[in-house]
Amino acid sequence: MAKSSWPTPRLRSPNTPSPDHHVLSASPDQRQETAGDGGQSVREGPLAALTRPLAIAGGLLSVAIAILVAVHVCLRWMFNSQVPGDIELVQIGTALTIFAFFPLCQSRRGNIVVDSFTTRMSPRGRDRLDALWDLVYAGMAVIIAWRLGVGAWDTMRSNTVSMILGLPTGWAIAACAVAAAFLAVVAVATSLRLLRARS
């Protein structure tokens, strides 16, 4: 049986085939550390100093959400009671958690891509293509930040609150807008890093 020459699709982190990728805002001569299958990631620099604490805060918030859900389930099971407004807290907390993780994921190029059509490209060609998509990602993040900002402004202006607890929701939307804008900055930084890596 003839063997197909078409490359087999595989999942990879964007910088796995190019071990000399560098991301974030550290200088090229700064110390790099291996980040598992995701390749090398910069552990220093101004953006790294912001993405890590933001992701840690998101992780702590996700733990708090898990504890809240567990307490709610236990109260329902043992005492036929509940945590008032638990669904509202989970919704707000989950949104904040997700946006808190995005910048760190992008800074370490942790997003998974399918390289079905790029396996035969040169490393420099892959770098340029990845840099292009990082810029597209940054553009999408800007649009998301813009629309979230508009929504936050409208929500604050109308004093919109949650139905059960009466929590103002505008601040949470605004926080997500800021995180999305920060994601755009990080995506631009990773794109420029890729373009400079092989120049």
| DSSP states along the chain | -PPP-SPPP-EE-TTSS-TT---TTS-TTS-EEE-GGG-EEE--SHHHHHHHHHHHHHHHHHHHHHHHHHHHHHHHHHHS---TTHHHHHHHHHHHHHHHHHHHHHHTT---EE-TTTTTS-HHHHHHHHHHHHHHHHHHHHHHHHHHHHHHHHHHHTT-B-TTT--B-HHHHHHHHHHHHHHHHHHHHHHHHHHHHT-
Read off the pLDDT band of 199 (50, 70, 90): low
pLDDT given at position 194: 86
The reported pTM is: 0.76
Q: What is the mean pLDDT of residues 78-92?
A: 91
Enumerate the domain spans of the chain. 40-110+120-197
Do 39 and 13 form a contact (C-beta atoms < 8 A)? yes
Query: What contacts 86, CB < 8 A, 6 or more positions away?
Result: 68, 69, 72
Read off the pLDDT band of 44 (50, 70, 90): low
Per-residue pLDDT tens over the stretch 104-127: 999 988 888 777 777 788 888 888
pLDDT at 5 > cutoff 60: no
